[in-house]
Amino acid sequence: MNQFWENELVQTAAYYSVVILCIVVFLTIFELVTKYKNWEEIQKGNMSVAMTTGGKIFGIANIFRFSIGQHDSLLQMIGWGLYGFILLLLGYFIYEFLTPKFKIDDEIQKDNRAVGFISMVISIGLSFVIGAGI
């Protein structure tokens, strides 16, 4: 059975499956902490929400890319990916805190594309920094 789990095709499928599941769970958590409903806003054509959500998806996937490359076991990969996600979520709250003149969520919901773009870039940029650390 050990040879089965050591097969690269099996490992790739396992990593892929776990990362897809984690992306779904982590996006659900992001949805709980934002004032808007991501998929409803995207369906309405809100480009700011689409950019922000895309940045989050890229950020989460990028963190897991680094985690897969640095850790040998599936459990270690998940643990470090979860830790990276928590740091990414913390970055979201810091971004909100550092902009006291307006509320990030309100601006994104109003389709302020400048705020949506910056939010996307922050998620992507932080994912590289977090990934380098794990």
Number of alpha carbons in the 13 Å side-chain half-sphere of residue 55: 22
In whole angstroms, give the CA distance from residue 21 to residue 64: 12
pTM above 0.85, yes or no: yes
Task: For residue range 62-84, list pLDDT tens digits in order.
Answer: 999 999 999 878 899 999 999 99
Task: For residue range 38-63, list pLDDT tens digits in order.
Answer: 999 999 999 999 999 999 999 999 99
If one counts the domains in the chain, the total is: 1
Here the tokens at position 4 are 């089965």
Quote the domain boundaries for residue 68. Answer: 2-133
> For residues 52 and 120, is the Cβ–Cβ distance under 8 A?
yes
